[in-house]
Amino acid sequence: MKLLVTGYKGQLGYDVVNEAKSRGIVAVGVDIDEMDITNAQQVNDVIKAGNYDAIVHCAAWTAVDKAEEPELLDKVRAVNATGTQNIVNVCKELNIPIMYFSTDYVFNGQGTVPWNEYDERHPLNVYGQTKYEGELAVETYPKHFIIRIAWVFGKNGNNFIKTMLRLGKEKGAVSVVNDQIGNPTYTFDLAKLVVDMIQTDKYGTYHATNSGDFISWYDFACEIFRQAGMNYVKVTPVDSTAFPAKAIRPKNSRMNQTELDKNGFKRLPTWQDALARYLKEINS
């Protein structure tokens, strides 16, 4: 099998390429320098030249607050929606599968009931809207996987864990929101599922975060400092209004994972276990 992985410089793309290669699968990672997904001709040329069996599309605009700047709207949409459509068009022509990564931000973020894979989508912000438009593009082609993830962390990039560790060391105290509930996703664990799934024809929409009890960002921060042996850091729970942001954040990021179970895929390990392995990884 030969895979093309977009967004190779990001947390997920990096781990997917490494996981695929560890299993003897040929995986070619590209980023904007090798294939600008907003350039339809370039997408067409690169994919056709590589003779790929499937495309794992990790590239995305993920700067959520920056996406709200009116002058950047066209650019965000060009990446998340049009760029995805460009890849879908070539996949259709070549009759090869596409895997697209989406987000809980496609939902309205309200309530306390976990989102099902096929719940109605009502995005809260520009990022969520453009990722939703990407989903719609992917859904026009039967050979697709959509995997929704949340609260992503990995070795190759910045994330909440690295931010907490830095602030804890610098300030000895942090305030963290306790009214946004969900589960983290470790890209190392997700990459294993991705490589398992892309070798099947079990197409459809999946939710895949690390398993375990749903938590708030405050709960997550407390566990980060506990596992990192930084119990001296004072963690104060606050309402999300304490951190005004350009983009509205979902308060309910809980996602059911019934489609994973139904299709015989193994759920990701608990987020506590993922955190322990991640801390070991970044400290080694």
Q: Catalytic annotation on 127?
A: yes
Burial environment of residue 141 by CB neighbours within 10 A (0 to 12, 13 to 18, 19 or more): middle
Which is the catalytic residue, given 52, 100, 105, 127? 127
Structure tokens at 225: 């400092």
Q: Please report how the helices 160-171 and 271-283 are oriented relative to each other, as an axis angle in degrees rounded to 10.
A: 60
Question: Could you list the active site residues?
Answer: 127
